[in-house]
Amino acid sequence: MASVTAFIRVSRKRIERANIRFRLRDGRGVQLFHASELEVNPSDWDATRQEIKAKVLYDAEKRVSFNKAVADRKNMMLEIYNAVSDKEILSSEWLEQEIDKRLHPERYVAEVHRQTFFEAYEEFVEKRKLSDWRVRAIQVVIRALRRYELYARRTVDRRFTLDFDTVTPLVLRDIEEFLRNEHTFCDQYPEIYEAIPESRRPQPRGQNTINGILTKLRTFFIWANDVGKTTNNPFRNYAVEECVYGTPYYITIDERNKIYRTNLARHPQLVVLRDVFVFQCLIGCRVGDLYKLTRDNLIGGAVEYIPRKTKDGHPVTVRVPLNTIAREILARYADWPGPGLFPLMAEQQYNKAIKRIFLAAGLKRRVTILNPLTREAEQRQIWEVASSHLARRAFVGNLYKQVKDPNLVGALSGHKEGSRAFARYRDIDEEMKTELVKMLE
């Protein structure tokens, strides 16, 4: 059974103060020591009773208090010792630390965790009511910023950490340059991309893409200021460029019908995706919304859905009546057992298939596009630049050509009232320009 003894050790005569020491024993195998902060005059110490002598001239209240402190320390040591299950950790140093924890718990209170920049970004994602696609887009931004942090440690300062206080206009400029040139760093710093991987190797980014990333980061800083996480907003002195878009190109109704009538019997998979593309041209939804449509979205001869872009703010239900061709396509896949309206493939494969379909239909007219990297105008054959979004443009462009009312078209396409996107459609049709010029005759 363990026991504790209190004693003093005097190395020279006539010393006036000595610390009380304690020895804990448990058989022959355990002997632990503790030097306490309790002090006593050696001449007043009763080594046998292990307390202050009763007959010395001493304040009675102080004597009782001191003797109690000695007894309490003994009990504390026994409590600590008896609570240990792993006797192999026993040492006098260990005992000293455990006693100090009891006497000064404030020294051992864990430091309050300071939320990191990226933890705050994750909180932003969790607390905002964001659609799945917007969450995925923000996660792309977060991963890019994590890679920038590692890049800055490798090239500027190994102690660098992205933090609310460290993000300055100068750092934003550095982040922008990193985003512009990141595709060149994959081979140079492979460890960065092993630590924070993407589903595919980073590709060259155009200024519009970079602007989109910076805009999302700016929104995060505005939120962080609003909720009191920081008073720093580096975007007050850092302007994000306006995105620049070329004049939208789209296929005409005749070209759409030519695609629909093209014989693709030798390529059954392309037949399905051709039908999907034409159907998208007839309802005008974004590809993300198209992939989520089910039979439940078919209501009273129309397609009803809430565009994913509006789910984050003010959800708007879009209802698009189905014309003859759209109903014909749906009837063709009425027995499809899957959850969606059609047998679909990954969006990337869908875009590749659209190019093959355009080429098979002989759609090779040249269109002027704005190169997203150089921001220079280029002429390309339309099949080379065809994608799922071209279906949405065909829907909007052909409707706008007929009615020239952006609010009416927006009610069918899901564009917000007053959307700036329609300003780009006012300049797209040569026939409209010819009609206007004829008014001057």
3-state secondary structure of 405: coil
Contacts 24+ apart (CB under 8 A), 275-278: 275/329, 275/332, 275/333, 275/342, 276/342, 276/344, 276/350, 277/354, 277/357, 277/388, 277/391, 278/325, 278/329, 278/391
Q: What is the mean pLDDT of residues 218-224?
A: 95
**pLDDT tens string 377-421:** 889 999 999 999 999 989 888 887 777 666 677 667 766 666 666
Question: The domain spanning residue 269 has which CATH number?
Answer: 1.10.443.10
- Alpha carbon distances (Å) from 123 to 118, 128, 344: 9, 8, 34
Residue 227 sits in the same domain as residue 97: no
In total, how many domains does the chain have?
A: 3
Distance CA 297, CA 195 (A): 42
Question: Is the model's pTM score more than 0.75?
Answer: no
Asked if 180 and 229 sit in the same domain, the reply is yes
Reported as a pLDDT band with limits 50, 70 and 90, residue 435 is: low
- Tokens representing 348? 């990337």
Give yes or no: residues 311 and 371 share one domain.
yes
Domain boundary among 237, 266, 293: 237
Beta-carbon-side half-sphere exposure of residue 18 (alpha carbons within 13 Å): 22
Q: Give the pLDDT confidence of 163-186 residue by residue, as tens digits.
A: 998 899 999 999 999 999 999 998
With a cut of 90, say whether residue 119 has pLDDT above it. yes
- The per-residue pLDDT for range 126-150, each reduced to its tens digit, is 988 787 778 989 999 999 999 999 9
Residue at 382 is within a domain: yes
Q: What is the mean pLDDT of residues 107-135?
A: 83
- Does 242 map to a domain? no
Secondary structure (3-state) at 299: strand
Same domain, yes or no, for 264 and 406? yes
Structural domain span for residue 169: 117-237
Residue 231 to residues 72, 226, 239, 285, Cα–Cα distance (Å): 50, 9, 18, 40
Q: Are 36 and 23 in contact (CB under 8 A)?
A: no
Instruction: Look at the chain and count its residues.
Output: 441
Considering the domain architecture, whether residues 186 and 314 belong to the same structural domain is answered as no
Closest CA to 403 of 425, 419, 421: 425
Q: Which of 237, 267, 290 is the last residue of a domain?
A: 237
The answer to whether residue 9 sits within a structural domain is yes
Residue 103 covered by a domain:
yes
pLDDT score, position 244: 80
281 shares its domain with 410: yes
For 414, phi then psi, to 5°, come to 90, 5
Specify whether 301 is located in the same domain as 347.
Answer: yes
Summarised one tens digit per residue, pLDDT across range 20-58 is: 999 999 988 899 999 999 998 888 899 999 998 887 756
Residue 376 CB contacts under 8 Å (≥ 6 apart), including other chains: 370
Residue 245 lies in a domain: no
Q: Does residue 212 sit within a domain?
A: yes
Within a domain: residue 243? no
pLDDT of residue 60: 80
In a domain, 22, yes or no: yes
- Same domain as 180, residue 48: no
Residues 391 and 260 in one domain: yes
Do 302 and 432 lie in one domain? The reply is yes
| Residues 100, 172 within the same domain | no
Same domain for 303 and 203: no
Of 81, 108, 135, which marks where a domain is finished? 108
Using one digit for the tens of pLDDT, what is the confidence trace for 277-300? 999 999 999 898 999 999 999 999
